Homo-oligomer: A and B are copies of this chain.
Amino acid sequence: MSSFFGRCFQIATWGESHGGGVGVVIDGCPPRIPVSEEHIQRELDRRRPGQSEIVTPRNEADRCEILSGVFEGLTLGSPIAILIRNKDARPSAYEEMATKYRPSHADYTYDAKYGIRNWQGGGRASARETIGRVAAAAIARQVLDSLLPGIEILAWVSTIRDLKADVDPETVTSGQIEENIVRTGDPSKVEEMVSLIKEARGEGNSLGGTIEAVVRGCPPGLGAPVFEKLEAELARAMMSLPATKGFEIGSGFAGTLLTGKEHNDHFYMDKDRVRTHTNRSGGIQGGISNGEPIVFRVAFKPTATIMSEQPTVSNTGSDTELKGRGRHDPCVLPRAVPMVEAMTTLVLCDHLLRQRAQCGLDSPDNQ
């Protein structure tokens, strides 16, 4: 049940890191939306391994094939199935993991839950699983373009360990982020960040950091009260990505240090539009977008796979040691940027269709 996501724009992802492939089925997609394999491929290329010198060298072209739901370049309204074959799987690199649990990985918990595990790689816990999400989001993006033209969804690497980029969420552009292999929005920090990552890899070590994201041009009214608050859905979406340890929106944890007088966002009229002077709310109030940029941050832990011997246990219950093998990212953040954008896109697309279901899109504020 856990690989199904969304209420109106629904997806079901599938696939292990080592096996026939990975993919996704999308249901509830509006009809007559332009979709092509090239378009999806563009997004997959942003998350694929081997794309630069600071990511895993696993050699996967990650070519996608649309199997259904698209006809003459347009969505049919029926389920869209997308398949990406695994090509460069090397199960032999994982043989030792058949019996030993990698620290801070999901090997042990999968065994504890299911009593079985595809040990030839990370299985469903591998970041490879996110391919289906990114493919689905490429289509969700087209839906947004059709129904909410002008909405922008951007993510960038905000920190690597303690090295912080200086980026303005209101003005950063996709070009600025994509023009460097770290995918930070601060050109002055690129070189240093690349060095940090290479240094860690050189030491058989790994690094974590934070990704910041912004949604610009989101109209007021998306989201919902109580359990499906927009920030709750975003939090769930982000914390469902591999290696995430935290989520905060607007003022976040730092906001707890302010008093109410300091923290409140005062409204004012900007011509006929309601705006706030500050944006500590992060673009969402009471679970519903208020028209200001939606700004949030996600914490990613350092990659669990490191190239040095670590104490662990075997699946038969004895203490042992294990050294990392296989091909891995010394720092997941550059490749996690498109994942964060993908999950944000999926949440917004789903909420947009929910909003159309309940309230219509010519809601009072849009008239």
The distance from the CB of A7 to the nearest CB of chain B, in whole angstroms, is 6
Known interface pairs A71-B118, A288-B112, A317-B272; A299-B255 also in contact (CB < 8 Å): yes
Copies in the complex: 4
Instruction: Indicate if the CB atoms of A261 and B308 lie closer than 8 Å.
Output: yes
- A239→B286 CA distance, assembly (Å): 11
In the complex formed, the residue of B with least CB distance to A262 is B302
Instruction: Indicate if the CB atoms of A235 and B247 lie closer than 8 Å.
Output: yes
Name, among A112, A162, A231, the residue most crowded by chain B CB atoms within 10 Å (CB to CB).
A112
Within the complex, which residue of B22, B76, B110, B250 is in contact with A117, where a contact is CB–CB below 8 Å? Answer: B76
Within the complex, which residue of B10, B124, B262, B355 is in contact with A226, where a contact is CB–CB below 8 Å? Answer: B124
Known interface pairs A109-B285, A113-B221, A269-B319; A20-B256 also in contact (CB < 8 Å): no
Query: Which residues does chain B contribute within 8 Å of A265, judged by CB atoms?
Result: 103-104
Instruction: Indicate if the CB atoms of A301 and B263 lie closer than 8 Å.
Output: yes
- A360→B23 CA distance, assembly (Å): 28
Query: Which residues does chain B contribute within 8 Å of A83, judged by CB atoms?
Result: 67, 83
Instruction: Indicate if the CB atoms of B288 and A1 lie closer than 8 Å.
Output: no
A94 at the B interface (CB under 8 A)? no
Known interface pairs A205-B261, A240-B232, A256-B300; A10-B15 also in contact (CB < 8 Å): no
Instruction: Indicate if the CB atoms of A267 and B25 lie closer than 8 Å.
Output: no
Within the complex, which residue of B1, B247, B303 is in contact with A247, where a contact is CB–CB below 8 Å? Answer: B247
The dominant DSSP class at the A interface is mixed
A198 at the B interface (CB under 8 A)? no
Instruction: Indicate if the CB atoms of B106 and A358 lie closer than 8 Å.
Output: no
Taking CB atoms and an 8 Å cut-off, the chain A residues in 37-76 that contact chain B are: 65-69, 71, 74-76
In the complex formed, the residue of B with least CB distance to A33 is B116
Instruction: Indicate if the CB atoms of B25 and A67 lie closer than 8 Å.
Output: no
Instruction: Indicate if the CB atoms of B116 and A74 lie closer than 8 Å.
Output: yes
The distance from the CB of A196 to the nearest CB of chain B, in whole angstroms, is 10
Instruction: Indicate if the CB atoms of B225 and A260 lie closer than 8 Å.
Output: no
Instruction: Indicate if the CB atoms of B266 and A312 lie closer than 8 Å.
Output: yes
Known interface pairs A101-B267, A261-B306, A286-B110; A256-B161 also in contact (CB < 8 Å): yes
Instruction: Indicate if the CB atoms of A112 and B290 lie closer than 8 Å.
Output: yes
In the complex formed, the residue of B with least CB distance to A162 is B257
Instruction: Indicate if the CB atoms of A79 and B224 lie closer than 8 Å.
Output: no
- A76→B117 CA distance, assembly (Å): 6
In the complex formed, the residue of B with least CB distance to A258 is B302
In the complex formed, the residue of B with least CB distance to A296 is B246
Complex interface bits, A105-143 against B, C-beta within 8 A gives 1, otherwise 0: 110111111111110000111000100000000000000
The distance from the CB of A125 to the nearest CB of chain B, in whole angstroms, is 4
A90 at the B interface (CB under 8 A)? no
Instruction: Indicate if the CB atoms of B245 and A286 lie closer than 8 Å.
Output: no
Instruction: Indicate if the CB atoms of A358 and B8 lie closer than 8 Å.
Output: yes
In the complex formed, the residue of B with least CB distance to A355 is B113
Report 27 cross-chain contacts, Cβ distance below 8 Å, ordered by A residue.
A3-B225, A14-B78, A15-B67, A16-B69, A20-B65, A76-B124, A103-B267, A108-B220, A108-B274, A110-B288, A115-B364, A205-B261, A206-B259, A207-B259, A208-B257, A232-B236, A235-B238, A239-B247, A245-B256, A246-B246, A248-B253, A256-B300, A261-B308, A263-B301, A264-B304, A264-B306, A269-B313
